Structure 1
Amino acid sequence: MTGCMWPCAAAAIATTAPTMGSGAGRKGWWLFRSKVRCPMEVVRHSRDLLRIVFEDRDASSNKEDLKPETKVMVDLRKYIREMKCILYGNGEAEPVTEACTNLTKEFFKENTNTMRLLILCLPYLDSETKKDVTQVIANLQRQKVDSKIIASDYLEVNKDLLDVLVSGYDNMEIAIHYSTILRDCIRHQVAARYVLDSEHMKKFFYYIQLPDFNIASDAFRTFKELLTRHKSSVAEFFSRNYDWFFSEFNSKLLSSPNYIIRRQATQLLGDILQDKSDTLVMICYVCSKENLIIVMNLLREQSKAIQLEAFHVFKLFAANQDKPPEIVGILSANKSKLIRFLANFSLDREDHLFEVDKAKVVAEISTL
Structure 2
Amino acid sequence: MLGGKIGVCVSKPAAAAAAREEVVVKRLSPPPQSPAAAAAAAATKGHSGLSSSKSGHSGLLTSKSGQLVSDSKRMKGLFKSKPRTPVDVVRQTRDLLIYADRSSSSLSDSKRDEKMAELGKSIRDLKSILYGNSESEPVAEACAQLTQEFFRENTLRLLIICLPKLNLEARKDATQVVANLQRQQVNSRLIASDYLEKNTDLLDILIVGYENTEMALHYGVMLRECIRHQSVARYVLESPHVKKFFDYIQLPNFDISADAAATFKELLTRHKSTVAEFLSKNYDWFFAEFNSKLLESTNYITRRQAVKLLGDILLDRSNAVVMTRYVSSRDNLRILMNLLRESSKTIQTEAFHVFKLFAANQNKPPDIVSILIANKSKLLRLFADFKTDKEDEQFEADKAQVVKEIAALEPRE
Match of 1:242 in 2: 283
The answer to whether structure 1 residue 50 and structure 2 residue 97 are counterparts is: yes
* Structure 2 letter corresponding to 1:71: E
TM-score (norm 2): 0.78
1:344 equivalent among 381, 385, 397: 385
Distance in 2 of aligned mates of 1:99 and 1:365 = 62
Q: Indicate whether 1:297 and 2:297 are aligned.
A: no
CA-to-aligned-CA distance 1:24-61 (integer Å, 9 cap, x gap): xxxxxxxxx956511001000100110011112xx453
Structure 1 partner of 2:367: 326
Distance in 2, Cα, partners of 1:305 & 1:96: 45
Give the Cα separation in 2 of the matches to 1:64 and 1:229.
46
Instruction: State the structure with more CA Rg.
Output: 2
Equivalent position to 2:319, from 266, 274, 278 = 278
Cα RMSD, aligned residues only = 1.4
- Shift in Å at residue 64 of structure 1? 3.9
Please give the residue correspondences for 1:311-322 in structure 2 after superposition, counting only pairs within 5 Å: 311-322=352-363
Q: Which residue of 2 aligns with 1:259?
A: 300
Letter of the 1:194 counterpart: Y
Q: Which residue of 2 aligns with 1:75?
A: 118
Q: Summarize deviations over 1:211-245 as a string: whole Å, max 9, x none.
A: 00000010000000000000011011101111011
Matched, 1:96 2:158: no
How high is the sequence identity, in percent, across the aligned residues? 64
Q: Does 1:165 align with 2:206?
A: yes
Q: Secondary structure at the match of 1:257?
A: coil
How much has 1:348 moved relative to structure 2? 2.3
The Cα shift of 1:308 comes to 0.2
The CA deviation at 1:66 is 8.9
Which of 127, 132, 143 is residue 168 of structure 2 equivalent to? 127
Q: Secondary structure at the match of 2:282?
A: helix
Alignment of 1:184-263 (within 5 A): 184-263=225-304
On the 8 A contact 1:298/1:310 being kept in 2, the answer is yes
| Alpha-carbon distance in structure 2 between the residues aligned to 1:65 and 1:201 | 43
Structure 1, gaps ≥5 residues long = 1-32
CA distance in 1, matches of 2:144, 2:203: 24
Relative contact order, CA 8 A, sep 6+: which one is greater? Answer: 1
Displacement after TM superposition at 1:208 (Å): 0.6
Q: Deviations over 1:319-353 (max 9, x none)?
A: 00111110000001011111111111112221111
Distance 1:54 1:36, change over 3 A: farther
Give, in whole Å, the separation in 2 of the partners of 1:273 and 1:65. Answer: 57
Question: Deviations along 1:41-87, whole A, 9 cap, x unmatched?
Answer: 1000100110011112xx453484896xx121011111111111111
Query: Which residue matches 2:74?
Result: none
Match of 1:61, SS?
A: coil
Structure 2 distance, partners of 1:303, 1:63, is 58
Question: TM-score scaled to structure 1, two decimals?
Answer: 0.88
State the 4+ residue runs in structure 1 displaced beyond 4 angstroms.
33-36
Q: Is the 8 A contact 1:208 1:219 kept in 2?
A: yes
Go from structure 1 to structure 2 and tell me whether the alpha carbon gap of 1:64 and 1:167 turns closer, same or farther (over 3 Å shift).
farther
Instruction: Determine if contact 1:189/1:233 at 8 Å carries over to the other structure.
Output: yes
Which SS does the other structure have where 1:181 is aligned?
helix
> Compared with structure 1, are the counterparts of its residues 330 and 94 closer, same or farther at alpha carbon in structure 2 (3 Å cutoff)?
same
User: Is structure 2 residue 85 aligned with structure 1 residue 38?
Assistant: yes
| Residue in 1 that maps onto 2:155 | 114
State the Cα deviation string for residues 163-198 of structure 1 (Å, max 9, x = none): 000010010010000111111111000111100001
Contact 1:88–1:94 under 8 Å retained in 2: yes
Alignment match of 2:188 (pick from 126, 132, 147): 147
Q: Show structure 2 runs of 5+ residues with no match.
A: 1-79
Question: Number of residues paired by the alignment?
Answer: 330
Residues 53, 66 of structure 1: 8 Å contact kept:
no
Q: Residue in 1 aligned with 2:27?
A: none
Residue equivalent to 1:356: 397
